[in-house]
Amino acid sequence: MSEKNIVVIPGDGIGEEITSAAVRILNKIASKSNITLTFEKHLAGGAAIDAYGVPLPDSTIKAAKNADAVLLGAVGGPKWDSVPPEIRAEKAILGLRKELGLYANLRPIKVSEALIEFSPLKAAAISGVDILLVRELNGGIYYGAKNEAAMVNGVEQASDLEIYSAPEVRRIVTLACQAAKLRRNQVVSVDKANVLASSRLWRKVANETAKTFADVSLSHLYVDNCAMQLILAPKQFDVIVTNNLFGDILSDEAAVLTGSIGMLPSASIGDGTGLYEPIHGSAPDIAGLGLANPVGTILSAAMLLRYSLGAEQAANQIEQAVEQVLVEGYRTADLYKHGSTKVTTEEMAGLIEGKL
């Protein structure tokens, strides 16, 4: 494999600690396989506001566009809460999604056997859950025409338009089917086709698209039923694909099934550079104290290897190393309980590195 350039954006709060941990793991896995990685650090969020007066400097956008992948910590914090809304730190994430044309958000929901007690579900229901939720990120009601609240016939009224085109549905369902081929070949498409015209188009195009994947089976669920099934029987799911609005809600519902926010990775994918980040924020309350759990970011680095560099084996090795360290009872402060061994952010990274 040729040399791959990774842009690292630590961001704010615990961002520096968790991205350093993930880079350490990427360096180790690269030294063990035929992958050559170079890293370039860039600013975004509050750190960029301090340095450049904007949350997403042009230099960061340019570097991200030219990179093979971007690894991001998290942005924002109380220091920048009172800046004008147009330069809020969190705008950096929306800006990167737009600039990189990221149309799919991938969230794996996998429960470590060692951490089952943290789930709000019973152990029997949650054990073995391994879901990939694929959310359309660039279309739908968040981007459709809006009518802000106004008086119509003497009544205050507002509206948002849910709009999808066939090509938008086709590309996200294609991506879900491709992802399913790396997993258990099952895709559930989630819509509200009994009520919404946009969902009926979604379902028709999903059926047409899945036919081109001989090994992949596609089924459909209404979003209300899917929300129930995620709690009642989450093990039934392999890949779930859905629109922007339903995905926003279902991905947070699915995330709490694991009970541990510091553990969950995500990927945002488009036609160019992919963006990889943990699902949590910048945790300013624990920044700089060695308390941050780096696993969500380390597993995001594994997704980077899988989806941007095609290095499936290296990704699997990182995921197995994380699981081994957890099974051995090592925990960062957020997951510490009597009987386990408490470790710092750096110690956790070192233990995972040691398994590779």
Per the residue annotation, which of 252, 271, 285, 337 is the catalytic one?
252
Of 11 and 139, nearer to ligand NAD (C-beta) is 11
Of 76 and 221, nearer to ligand NAD (C-beta) is 76
CB 40 within 8 A of CB 51: no
Q: How far is the CB of 276 from ligand NAD (least distance, A)?
A: 11
Positions that interact with ligand NAD (CB under 6 A): 14, 74-77, 90, 93, 261-262, 277, 280-286, 292-293, 296, 334
Per the residue annotation, which of 41, 222, 235, 248 is the catalytic one?
248
Of 57 and 281, nearer to ligand NAD (C-beta) is 281
Of 209 and 266, nearer to ligand NAD (C-beta) is 266
- The enclosing H or E element of 97 equals helix 91-99
Structure tokens at 109: 């929901």
- Catalytic residue check, 238: no
Q: How far is the CB of 262 from ligand NAD (least distance, A)?
A: 3
Of 188 and 351, nearer to ligand NAD (C-beta) is 351
Q: How far is the CB of 37 from ligand NAD (least distance, A)?
A: 23
Amino acid at 111: V
Per the residue annotation, which of 50, 58, 224, 271 is the catalytic one?
224
Per the residue annotation, which of 142, 143, 222, 336 is the catalytic one?
142
Residues near 300 by Cβ (< 8 Å), separated by ≥ 6? 22, 71, 265, 266, 267, 276, 277, 278
- Catalytic residue check, 224: yes
- Catalytic residue check, 192: yes
CB 137 within 8 A of CB 103: yes
Q: How far is the CB of 55 from ligand NAD (least distance, A)?
A: 11
From residue 6, alpha-carbon distances to 16, 106, 124, 222 in Å are: 15, 19, 40, 39
Handedness of CA 191, 195, 197, 200 (dihedral sign): positive
Q: How far is the CB of 239 from ligand NAD (least distance, A)?
A: 23
Structure tokens at 311: 């290095």
Q: How far apart are the C-alpha atoms of 235 and 126, rounded to whole Å?
A: 7
Per the residue annotation, which of 192, 276, 307, 330 is the catalytic one?
192
- Catalytic residue check, 58: no
Helices (H) and strands (E) in the chain, counts: 12, 14
- DSSP letter at 78 equals G
Q: How far is the CB of 72 from ligand NAD (least distance, A)?
A: 7
Q: Which of 113, 81, 73 is nearest to 297 (CA)?
A: 73
Exposure string over 271-287, b if 16+ CB within 10 A, otherwise e: eebbbbbbbbbbbbebb
Instruction: Count the neighbouring beta carbons within 10 Å of the beta carbon of residue 323.
Output: 17
Of 56 and 292, nearer to ligand NAD (C-beta) is 292
Q: Which of 115, 116, 55 is nearest to 86 (CA)?
A: 55
- Catalytic residue check, 50: no
Q: How far is the CB of 244 from ligand NAD (least distance, A)?
A: 16
Of 49 and 190, nearer to ligand NAD (C-beta) is 49
Residues near 252 by Cβ (< 8 Å), separated by ≥ 6? none
- Active-site residues, by number, are 142, 192, 224, 248, 252
